[in-house]
Amino acid sequence: MTTILGTGAMGTALAETLLDARLPAVVWNRDPRRAQPLTGRGAIVADTVEKAITGDGPVVVCLFDHRSVHDVLDPVAAALTGRAVLNLTTTTPAESRELAAWAAGHGIAYLDGAILAVPAMIGGPGSAIFYAGAEAVFAEHRDLLDRWGESTFFGADAGLAALYDMAMLTGMYTMVAGFLHGAAMLAAEGVPAAEFARRQAPFLAAMTGSFAGYAATVDAGNYAGGGQSLRFTEAALAALLRASTGQGVSTEVLQPVHDLVRRQLTAGHGDLDTARIFEELRTTR
């Protein structure tokens, strides 16, 4: 029997996928009213964490953040000794590693997971979950994990799934902010965001085709290969900034990108490939 601690939007989706496949699950949520609807799908609802973990199946944790994971697991750490804990709560790499060390200290087999999907996607096409940490837990419960989405294991370092997750989300959030910036530019002329979205989505999808080229340049560490130069990109970004200001739109999203490029021009790298932004970013570590 699988235990699921946390039946918020995501925990509920995880539980429903198992229950719909007639796999037994016991669920717990801090606010019991959020777990109750799952009884209709066949879940056992436990009123305490202690009761929820009395079985011998995997303990799946899907709570709000790193702090809430400790809030819930710390009091039952002794009872979890010898058990497998799969933590699907979003955490930073350092937080995942801390949880893995905490688990090891209690004799708990810890698998860290990062969900690359929204609740409605769980169990359907496009849902992916990254894992890292205890490979034996990943292997033993692979059938279960694959029901939620495509499962990928990144290695014994428990921070790696979270690191990939954070890197993926960085790309997503900055892209969304860029889309909203563009929508704000057009909104000044009364163009609905929906109209812009219809045009922006296929354009951005097509542009992702250039990632492989940027990646090849970055991996080779050779920015003199003749791709789009930083000088060209600087002029393009400067035009975007002028156009944004002209539309009365804040440059908060775009300005840092321009600053990054300008700094490299000042340092004499104007003829190099725009992919050199990578070098400029990682020097801050």
Residue nearest to ligand NAP (CB): 8
Backbone angles phi, psi at 245, to 5 degrees: -60, -40
Residues 6+ apart with CB under 8 A from 56: 1, 83
Query: Smaller CB distance to ligand NAP: residue 7 or 217?
Result: 7
CB 182 within 8 A of CB 196: yes
CA distances to 12, 207, 273, 274 from 222, in Å: 48, 22, 9, 11
Strand partners, 59: 3, 85
Please state the closest distance from residue 175 (CB atom) to ligand NAP, in A.
Answer: 16
Please state the closest distance from residue 47 (CB atom) to ligand NAP, in A.
Answer: 13
How far apart are the C-alpha atoms of 244 and 222, rounded to whole Å? 33
Query: Smaller CB distance to ligand NAP: residue 79 or 257?
Result: 79
Please state the closest distance from residue 36 (CB atom) to ligand NAP, in A.
Answer: 11
Please state the closest distance from residue 49 (CB atom) to ligand NAP, in A.
Answer: 9
CB 69 within 8 A of CB 91: yes
Query: Smaller CB distance to ligand NAP: residue 8 or 178?
Result: 8
Q: What residues line the site for ligand NAP (CB under 6 A)?
A: 6-11, 29-31, 34, 62-65, 68, 71-72, 89-90, 115, 118-119
Query: Smaller CB distance to ligand NAP: residue 80 or 275?
Result: 80
As a 3-state breakdown, the chain gives helix, strand, coil percent values, each rounded to 5, of 55, 15, 30
Question: First vs last Cα of the chain: how many Å apart?
Answer: 44
How far apart are the C-alpha atoms of 17 and 11, rounded to whole Å? 10
How far apart are the C-alpha atoms of 160 and 112, rounded to whole Å? 9
Please state the closest distance from residue 92 (CB atom) to ligand NAP, in A.
Answer: 11
Please state the closest distance from residue 74 (CB atom) to ligand NAP, in A.
Answer: 11
Query: Smaller CB distance to ligand NAP: residue 12 or 264?
Result: 12
Query: Smaller CB distance to ligand NAP: residue 7 or 264?
Result: 7
